[in-house]
C-alpha cells in the first residue's frame, strides 16, 4: 500500500499550527443545526450592529448550520464583529485566514487578528499567535515570541497551550531546555481532558519530546482526542492505522478517520482522501471522489493536490478531459513551487499542448522542477528540440504522465 502524504505532521510544530486551531475557536452558545428562521433573525440583529449576532452568523456560515456553508460569508461577518473588538471573532477570523482558501499565505493576516485578541487577554488567541511565531509561512519566526504567548495562554490554564509549552521546554525553544518541567507540564495537560491537549500529548509521546517515546501511548491519547472530534487527531490516527504504527494496520479504519477529519475542512485529510480514492486504498477506486477531494484541498491552497488533479484532468482519468483546467491548476501549483506541476507544465510548453509552444519557458520550468525531480531525459529531448525549427507533435498523455 502506498503511504499517503502526511509529512506535514512529522513534527509537533506543524501539527499544532495546522490542526489545533479549530479547537481554539469554539464558542459557547454557537448555533447547532439552526433552523433557517433563527438564521434570519440573526441576520436582522447583525445588520443592526449586534456583535453577538454577527459572531453567531459567522459560525452559521462557517459550519453550514441553517444556511449553506460559505467560508467567505463567514469571514465577512467575523470581520464585522472583529472590527468591533470581539476577541472570539478575531480569533475565528485569524483561523480561517490560515486554513481557508488563502492557505498559508494568510498567516500574516491571521497574526494581525490573533494579536488584537491576544492583547485583550484571550488565551486561545495567545496560543494561536505563539504557534504562528514557531514557523508559519509569511510570519517571521521568533521562538522567543512563541514562548511568550504560549506561556501566557498556559498560565491562563489553556490545556493545549500547557502541552505546547511542554514541547518548548522539552526542545529548548524560546525557553531553557528543562525535561523535568516538560514532563510536569505533560502530566498537567493530561488531567485537563481537553481534545486539543490530548492530541498534542499524543504527538509528544510519538516523538519522544519531554517523555520517552511510546507509540502505544501516543495512539491512546490520539484515540481519545479523535473520539472527541478533534480533526487533527483523526488525521494523525488515520495515518497510524494506515501504516500499522502503534495500532493494527487497518486501511478501512484509516479511511474512516480521514473522512471524519476531511468533513471538518482539514485540507490535509482531503488531500489524503484524493489519493485514497484515486488509487483504491481501503475503498473502491473512484476517480470522481478523488477529483472532489483533490479539488477541496487545492482550493485550500494545497499545491500537491492541484498538481494531482491537473494530471487526472489532462489524461481524462475517468472524469473527463479538460486540458485548460489542468493547465490552470498546474500554473497555480507551479507558482507555489510544486515540482510536479512545474514538470507537467514544462511538457505542455515543450509540445505546445493547450498553450503556445515555448521552449524557453519549458526550459525554465524544467530547471525549477529539476531541483527536486530527475528531468535529465526531458532536458535532453528539449535541447534537441531547441535546435529544430519545426513543431514536433506529441501525444497528449505524454504531458500528463
The answer to whether residues 25 and 147 belong to one domain is yes
Residue with cell 485583550: 120
* Total count of domains within the chain: 2
The verdict on residue 165 lying in a domain is yes
> CA-to-CA distance for 388 and 401, rounded, in angstroms?
24
Q: Which of 231, 256, 278 is the last residue of a domain?
A: 231
Q: What's the length of the chain?
A: 401
Question: How confident is residue 400, by pLDDT bands cut at 50, 70 and 90?
Answer: low
The answer to whether residues 212 and 109 belong to one domain is yes
290-337 tens-digit pLDDT: 999 999 999 888 999 999 999 999 999 889 999 999 999 999 999 999
The answer to whether residues 219 and 365 belong to one domain is no
* Mean pLDDT of all residues in 253-270: 92
The verdict on residue 43 lying in a domain is no
Neighbouring residues of 113: CB distance < 8 A, sequence distance ≥ 6: 82, 90, 91, 93, 94, 97, 125
Residue (of 103, 101, 126, 102) closest to 113 by Cα position: 126
The answer to whether residues 109 and 212 belong to one domain is yes
H or E element: which one contains 248?
none
CB 71 within 8 A of CB 56: no
Query: In the chain, pLDDT over 90 holds for what percent of residues?
Result: 63
pLDDT over 80 at 401, yes or no: no
The answer to whether residues 125 and 22 belong to one domain is yes
Residue 33 has a pLDDT of 44
Residue with cell 504562528: 132
Query: In the chain, pLDDT over 70 holds for what percent of residues?
Result: 86
pLDDT over 80 at 377, yes or no: yes
> CA-to-CA distance for 392 and 98, rounded, in angstroms?
44
45-95 tens-digit pLDDT: 999 999 999 999 999 998 888 888 888 899 999 999 999 999 999 999 998
pLDDT: which is higher, 269 or 15: 269
Q: Which three cell numbers stand for residue 147?
A: 514562548
pLDDT over 60 at 216, yes or no: yes
Average pLDDT, the chain: 86
Q: Which residues form the domain of 129?
A: 7-30+85-231
Residue burial 116-138, b: 16+ Cβ < 10 Å; e: rest: bbbeeebbbbbbbbbbbbbbbeb
The verdict on residue 14 lying in a domain is yes
* Mean pLDDT of all residues in 135-139: 78
Residue 322 has a pLDDT of 96
Residue (of 272, 249, 248, 246) closest to 260 by Cα position: 272
The answer to whether residues 192 and 92 belong to one domain is yes
Residue 207 has a pLDDT of 86
Residue 317 has a pLDDT of 82
pLDDT over 70 at 20, yes or no: no
The verdict on residue 257 lying in a domain is no
CB 101 within 8 A of CB 299: yes
Q: Which of 205, 231, 257 is the last residue of a domain?
A: 231
Alpha carbon dihedral 325, 8, 280, 318, in 10-degree steps, equals: 0
pLDDT over 70 at 31, yes or no: no
Interior angle at CA 278, CA 277 and CA 281, nearest 5: 55
Residue (of 90, 136, 133, 131) closest to 114 by Cα position: 90
> CA-to-CA distance for 380 and 294, rounded, in angstroms?
32
Q: What is the CATH number of the domain that holds 214?
A: 1.25.40.10
The answer to whether residues 96 and 220 belong to one domain is yes
Question: How confident is residue 152, by pLDDT bands cut at 50, 70 and 90?
Answer: very high
The verdict on residue 16 lying in a domain is yes
pLDDT: which is higher, 192 or 8: 192
Residue 397 has a pLDDT of 53
Question: How confident is residue 34, by pLDDT bands cut at 50, 70 and 90?
Answer: very low
The verdict on residue 217 lying in a domain is yes
> CA-to-CA distance for 167 and 161, rounded, in angstroms?
10
The verdict on residue 282 lying in a domain is no
Question: How confident is residue 398, by pLDDT bands cut at 50, 70 and 90?
Answer: low
Residue 352 has a pLDDT of 95
pLDDT over 90 at 187, yes or no: no
Residue (of 111, 120, 131, 196) closest to 158 by Cα position: 196
The verdict on residue 277 lying in a domain is no
* Mean pLDDT of all residues in 109-122: 95
Question: How confident is residue 272, by pLDDT bands cut at 50, 70 and 90?
Answer: very high
pTM above 0.85, yes or no: no
Neighbouring residues of 119: CB distance < 8 A, sequence distance ≥ 6: none
CB neighbours (10 Å) of residue 163? 33
Residue 225 has a pLDDT of 93
The answer to whether residues 223 and 108 belong to one domain is yes
The answer to whether residues 12 and 135 belong to one domain is yes
Residue 96 class from Cβ within 10 Å (0-12 exposed, 13-18 middle, 19+ buried)?
A: buried
The answer to whether residues 214 and 319 belong to one domain is no
Question: How confident is residue 266, by pLDDT bands cut at 50, 70 and 90?
Answer: confident
Q: Which of 182, 205, 231 is the last residue of a domain?
A: 231
Please report how many Cα atoms fall inside a 13 Å half-sphere around the Cα of residue 376, on the Cβ side. Answer: 1
Question: How confident is residue 109, by pLDDT bands cut at 50, 70 and 90?
Answer: very high
Residue with cell 515555448: 358
The answer to whether residues 132 and 224 belong to one domain is yes
Amino acid at each position: 500500500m502506498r503511504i499517503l502524504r502526511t509529512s506535514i505532521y512529522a513534527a509537533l510544530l506543524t501539527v499544532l499550527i495546522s490542526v489545533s486551531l479549530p479547537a481554539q475557536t469554539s464558542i459557547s452558545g454557537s448555533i447547532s443545526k439552526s433552523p433557517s428562521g433563527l438564521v434570519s433573525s440573526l441576520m436582522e440583529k447583525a445588520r443592526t450592529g449586534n456583535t453577538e449576532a454577527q459572531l453567531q452568523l459567522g459560525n452559521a456560515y462557517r459550519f453550514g448550520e441553517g444556511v449553506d456553508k460559505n467560508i467567505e460569508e463567514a469571514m465577512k461577518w467575523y470581520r464585522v464583529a472583529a472590527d468591533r473588538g470581539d476577541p472570539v471573532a478575531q480569533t475565528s477570523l485569524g483561523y480561517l485566514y490560515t486554513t481557508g482558501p488563502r492557505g498559508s499565505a494568510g498567516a500574516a493576516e491571521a497574526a494581525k487578528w490573533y494579536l488584537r485578541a491576544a492583547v485583550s487577554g484571550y488565551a486561545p488567541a495567545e496560543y494561536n499567535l505563539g504557534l504562528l511565531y514557531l514557523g508559519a509561512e509569511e510570519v517571521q519566526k521568533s521562538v522567543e515570541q512563541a514562548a511568550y504567548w504560549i506561556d501566557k495562554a498556559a498560565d491562563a490554564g489553556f490545556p493545549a497551550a500547557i502541552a505546547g509549552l511542554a514541547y518548548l521546554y522539552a526542545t529548548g525553544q524560546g525557553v531553557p531546555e528543562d525535561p523535568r518541567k516538560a514532563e510536569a507540564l505533560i502530566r498537567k495537560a493530561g488531567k485537563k481532558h481537553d481534545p486539543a491537549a490530548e492530541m498534542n500529548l499524543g504527538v509528544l509521546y510519538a516523538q519522544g519530546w519531554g517523555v520517552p517515546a511510546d507509540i502505544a501511548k501516543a495512539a491512546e491519547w490520539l484515540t481519545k482526542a479523535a473520539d472527541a472530534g478533534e480533526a487533527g487527531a483523526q488525521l494523525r490516527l488515520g495515518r497510524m492505522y494506515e501504516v500499522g504504527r502503534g495500532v493494527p494496520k487497518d486501511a478501512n479504519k484509516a479511511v474512516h478517520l480521514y473522512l471524519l477529519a476531511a468533513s471538518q475542512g482539514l485540507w490535509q485529510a482531503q488531500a489524503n482522501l484524493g489519493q485514497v480514492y484515486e488509487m483504491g486504498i481501503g475503498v473502491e477506486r473512484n476517480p470522481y471522489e478523488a477529483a472532489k477531494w483533490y479539488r477541496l484541498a487545492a482550493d485550500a491552497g494545497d499545491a500537491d493536490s492541484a498538481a494531482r488533479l491537473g494530471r487526472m484532468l489532462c489524461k481524462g482519468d475517468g472524469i473527463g478531459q479538460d486540458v485548460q483546467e489542468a493547465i490552470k491548476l498546474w500554473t497555480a501549483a507551479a507558482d507555489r513551487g510544486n515540482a510536479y506541476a512545474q514538470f507537467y507544465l514544462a511538457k505542455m510548453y515543450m509540445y505546445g499542448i493547450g498553450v503556445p509552444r515555448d521552449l524557453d519557458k519549458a526550459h525554465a520550468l524544467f530547471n525549477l522542477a529539476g531541483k527536486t525531480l530527475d528531468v535529465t531525459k526531458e532536458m535532453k529531448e528539449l535541447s534537441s528540440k531547441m535546435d529544430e525549427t519545426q513543431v514536433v507533435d506529441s501525444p497528449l498523455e505524454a504531458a500528463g504522465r
